Structure 1
């Protein structure tokens, strides 16, 4: 039985310019339902603790995001010869009341496999996410980053604006 993969969102939101700029053998596309096996979660491990997802947990989250594909846009760069995810990032579109019910894109989870760094995949992911933000009607696209990453994001066209604050509930807190 052939399994047909599902893309998280419509491929027409992928930047043709970024796609054309990738090295031969690499493709930029929406996250797909089979990317669990292609190492998507392994790529995210360069950022933070990911956890040991089962395939069922992966599909549960993927299907939720798919049902909200007007808000969640996760993209990947795949090395075609190895059928392996080598870079990823997301933009989440927030619906606001300000700016006449405007939309704001929030870039999250930019990750490049440690063995693929130096190929400018991070910049390409950012450019592709900005393209999605612009083409979904966002009046701005924002992100949070560590101080050491400010020069990278400035190269991507971002400028410093505010300060990030964080509050985390205690691990024992339950909803």
Structure 2
């Protein structure tokens, strides 16, 4: 894939920069991390086409069954999600290994209720097993809650399975 095409992002990175994380985030981090500083050699950003080569499929495979996803299939789905404009997938990349090590999605559902408002739905939160315990899941979820609010959602919900409920209870979800 041409280098320029690999850098196509699902959404504008400025959206993450516009979040007033330090003031509006309702959870604490010890040590302190944020979307602009998730940890040494780590960068939080929107999903990009090049993440196919940075291991996004393998990472998501730590969450659920993936099946065979070709570059072409990934590109087609990425482009459809980007064009739709209601999908916001964020990733954390380890710049030393050039691998995506965490990811989460918020989908902005269009509602008729509440004056045709939006509802955020967080799903597919995953952190590479080698990076767990570094507050990255909490950072992803907190960032997506703020992003959902920033985009105008009247509420944000989270879909998960029973085995991860204790994690989400710890971060007050």
Smaller-chain TM-score range?
Answer: 0.7 to 0.9
Question: Relative contact order, CA 8 A, sep 6+: which one is greater?
Answer: 2
SS of 1:118's partner is coil
SS of 2:69's partner is coil
Q: Is the Cα–Cα contact under 8 Å of residues 8 and 48 in structure 2 kept in the other structure?
A: yes
1:16 Cα offset (Å): 6.4
Aligned pairs for 1:23-42 (under 5 A) are 23-42=39-58
Alignment partner, residue 163 of structure 1: none
Alignment partner, residue 81 of structure 2: 65
Aligned pairs for 1:75-86 (under 5 A) are 75-86=90-101
Alignment partner, residue 148 of structure 1: 163
SS of 1:19's partner is coil
SS of 1:145's partner is coil
Alignment partner, residue 138 of structure 1: 153
1:122 Cα offset (Å): 0.6
TM-score w.r.t. the length of structure 2 is 0.85
Q: 4+ runs of 1 displaced by more than 3 Å?
A: none
SS of 1:124's partner is helix
Alignment partner, residue 29 of structure 2: none
- Return the alpha-carbon distance in structure 2 between the equivalents of residues 31 and 137 of structure 1: 21
Cα RMSD (Å) of the superposition?
A: 1.6
- Return the alpha-carbon distance in structure 2 between the equivalents of residues 2 and 55 of structure 1: 13
Count of residue correspondences: 157
- Return the alpha-carbon distance in structure 1 between the equivalents of residues 88 and 2 of structure 2: 26
Aligned pairs for 1:10-21 (under 5 A) are 10-14=12-16, 15=19, 17=21, 18-21=34-37
Q: Is the Cα–Cα contact under 8 Å of residues 111 and 119 in structure 2 kept in the other structure?
A: yes
- Return the alpha-carbon distance in structure 2 between the equivalents of residues 106 and 156 of structure 1: 17
Gaps of 5+ in 1: 159-175
1:144 Cα offset (Å): 2.1
Aligned pairs for 1:154-169 (under 5 A) are 154-158=169-173
- Return the alpha-carbon distance in structure 1 between the equivalents of residues 20 and 98 of structure 2: 21
Q: Does 1:106 align with 2:108?
A: no
Instruction: Work out which of the two has the higher radius of gyration on C-alpha atoms and give 1 or 2.
Output: 1
Of 89-98 and 19-28, more deviation after overlay is shown by 19-28
Q: Is the Cα–Cα contact under 8 Å of residues 119 and 156 in structure 2 kept in the other structure?
A: yes
- Return the alpha-carbon distance in structure 2 between the equivalents of residues 156 and 126 of structure 1: 9
SS of 2:68's partner is coil
